[in-house]
Structures are given as C-alpha cells and as structure tokens.
C-alpha cells in the first residue's frame, strides 16, 4: 500500500491544499512527480494516477489550484492562468523541501490545461528533470460541433462576466460541460456522457465555471515556451481529439529540443473514461520518467 498525506503551501497569499503520495517502505529520498489537472478540474480526479506513480517507486504530489476544490481563493471556480502557474511553482517548491523527496529529481505531469502549465513553468526552471504533457492545451481550436449561434451566445456571456469582474462583482457561472446546444464551455455528445460519469462519482469537482476565465486562456500559448525547455518532454495526444486537437498539440513536441510525441487511439475524453487506455498511457509515462532520471 502507498501512503497518502495531506499537505498545504502558500501561493500568492492563498493557501493551496494537496496530497503527497509516497511509495511504501521508504529507506531513501525518492524522485517526485508533481501533477497538474486541467481546466476546472480538481485533484481527486488524479488520485489514480498518483497512486500508480507511487506504486512504481516515485512520490507523486497532487494539488488544487487556487479557487478550486480544497484550496482557498476567490472568486470560486475562476481559472486564473497566471495564478495557476504560480500555484504549480509553489507545489514544486513544496516538493523540493519535503524530507522524503530528492530535490534534484523533480518531474512534472500535466493534463489538458495543466499540460500547458507544466511546459510554461518548466521552461523557466532548468532544475526540473523531465516533463509529460497529456492531451495538452496550446490555444483554442475551432469547435466543430458548436453552431455559430451557440458560439455567439458563449462569447456574449464571457464578455458579460468579464464586465462583472471589472466591477468587482461575483461571476455569472455557466456549466463547464453540457449537452449539444447547451450554453457551456464544452457542449458535445461525448462531453455530456463524460459529465454523467463525473456527476455520479462524487468528490470535489463542480460543473460550474466563471466564463471570464476564457478571456485569459484565449491569449495563452504554451508552445511559445516549448522551445526553451532544456529537459526531455513527452507529449501524449489522442488521434481523434477535438478539444485539444493534433494541429495545436504536435507542435509542442516539435518545438521542444528534446521533445517526444506519442499518439493514442480515441478522443480527449477517452483519456478520462477508458481505464485500459489510462493504464497503457501511464506505463509509457512511467517508462519515460525512469529513462530520464539522473542517478540519486
């Protein structure tokens, strides 16, 4: 059995909460993987990943960004791109200071929006050993299943909520995931099926987000940082992904000096909903981390 310990750290005046997963029967300091979840996600969805890393002999740290889950911060359910990057830096700092962890062997793993964060942050932290970006965000792509009318409605609510933010007022929340035609950040048939899985699982995640979050994301291009990475990067993508499609994600591996690309069958949501694929991908990612670990 692996050990899971609740931890916390300060980031920009906000208390972030996480859990450190440790291999059993520790006798020496171990490498650590810091895991970052995606847009509006919460750390409990990454417990299975952290447990797999710990079972493989690697410590694993999961945490909630500010404004989400168990972490502090206001307004709730607001994705602050710069703030989340700072939270990741805080998590890395915590990992380096933990007595069980080898501070010289810190690795980063990010999913979706978190996949963009690990690249952006690692580009300015040469002490990071290796990076995995899974179905990573690298700028918005056209959503083929969203009609022009639905797009205009979403744009209008984003601007309205941004105005509320400028006035210091609470967000006008919308669902993160919805059915086709619904006003939501992601509104496809597959996303609707995914939300049914999440809704029945309990936990920290809420199907609600402040749409003003999307304005800063519209200008976010992790690919601009990929060329500055000094450490190995593994980019794992889905062949039929329409949320973070190949035309935006493959360039991350191409621009990184030590980039590698692995393509898997399925869509963006297959990485969440297919346990067999998840285990296959994790096997590849663990092998990648082990291959690039320097000696203790």
Which domain CATH number covers 80?
3.40.50.1820
The pLDDT of residue 144: 55
Cβ-based neighbours of 291, under 8 Å, separated by 6 or more = none
52 inside domain: yes
The pLDDT of residue 143: 55
Q: Please choose, from the candidates 236, 234, 232, the residue with its C-alpha nearest in 3D space to the C-alpha of residue 280.
A: 236
31 inside domain: yes
pTM: 0.94
CA distance 88 to 134: 16
The pLDDT of residue 273: 87
Domain count, the chain: 1
The pLDDT of residue 168: 96
The pLDDT of residue 107: 98
Tokens matching residue 117: 């964060």
Whether residue 75 is preceded by a cis peptide bond, meaning omega within 30 degrees of 0, is yes
Contact (Cβ atoms closer than 8 angstroms) between residue 203 and residue 42:
yes
Contact (Cβ atoms closer than 8 angstroms) between residue 149 and residue 182:
no
Q: Please choose, from the candidates 20, 14, 253, 238, the residue with its C-alpha nearest in 3D space to the C-alpha of residue 131.
A: 253
203 inside domain: no
Please, what is the Cα angle at 172 between 168 and 175, to 5 degrees? Answer: 145
264 inside domain: yes
**How far does Cα 50 stand from its chain's mean position?**
13
178 inside domain: no
**DSSP code string of 237-291:** EETT-SSS-HHHHHHHHHHSTTEEEEEESS-TTHHHH-HHHHHHHHHHHHHHHHH
The pLDDT of residue 295: 87
Kindly give the confidence (pLDDT) of every residue in the chain, 296 residues in length, as a single tens digit, with 9 standing for 90 and above.
678 999 999 999 999 999 999 999 888 999 999 999 999 999 999 999 999 999 999 999 999 999 999 999 999 999 999 999 999 999 999 999 999 999 999 999 999 999 999 999 999 999 999 999 999 999 987 655 567 888 899 999 999 999 999 999 999 999 998 888 889 998 877 776 666 655 555 689 999 999 999 998 989 999 999 999 999 999 999 999 989 999 999 999 999 999 999 999 999 989 988 999 999 999 999 999 999 999 88
225 inside domain: yes
Residue 63 lies in domain: 3-141+220-292
The b/e string for 140-167 (b: 16+ C-beta within 10 A; e otherwise) is: ebebeebeeebeebbeebbeebbebbee
The pLDDT of residue 1: 63
The pLDDT of residue 15: 98
198 inside domain: no
The pLDDT of residue 201: 55
């Amino acid at each position: 059995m692996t050990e899971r310990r609740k931890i916390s750290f300060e980031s920009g005046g906000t208390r972030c909460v996480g859990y450190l997963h440790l291999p059993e029967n520790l006798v020496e300091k171990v490498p650590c993987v810091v895991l970052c979840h995606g847009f509006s996600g919460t750390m409990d969805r990454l417990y299975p990943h952290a447990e797999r890393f710990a079972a493989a002999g690697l410590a694993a740290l999961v945490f909630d960004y500010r404004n989400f889950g168990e972490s502090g911060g206001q307004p709730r359910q607001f994705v602050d791109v710069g703030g989340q990057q700072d939270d990741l830096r805080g998590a890395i700092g915590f990992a380096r200071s933990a007595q069980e962890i080898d501070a010289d062997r810190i690795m980063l793993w990010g999913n979706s929006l978190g996949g963009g964060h690990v690249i952006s942050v690692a580009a300015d932290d040469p002490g990071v050993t290796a990076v995995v970006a899974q179905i990573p965000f690298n700028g918005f792509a056209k959503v083929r299943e969203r009609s022009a009318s639905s797009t205009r409605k979403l744009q209008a609510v984003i601007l309205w909520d941004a105005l509320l933010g400028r006035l210091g007022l609470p967000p006008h929340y919308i669902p993160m995931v919805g059915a086709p035609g619904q006003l939501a950040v992601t509104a496809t048939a597959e996303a609707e099926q995914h939300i049914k899985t999440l809704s029945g699982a309990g936990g920290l995640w809420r199907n609600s987000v402040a749409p003003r979050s999307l304005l800063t994301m519209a200008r976010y291009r992790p690919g601009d940082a990929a060329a500055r990475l000094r450490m190995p990067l593994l980019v794992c993508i889905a062949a039929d992904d329409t949320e973070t499609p190949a035309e935006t994600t493959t360039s991350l591996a191409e621009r990184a000096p030590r980039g590698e690309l692995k393509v898997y069958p399925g869509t963006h949501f297959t990485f969440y909903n297919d346990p067999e694929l998840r285990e296959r991908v994790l096997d590849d990612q663990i092998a990648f981390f082990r291959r690039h670990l320097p000696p203790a």
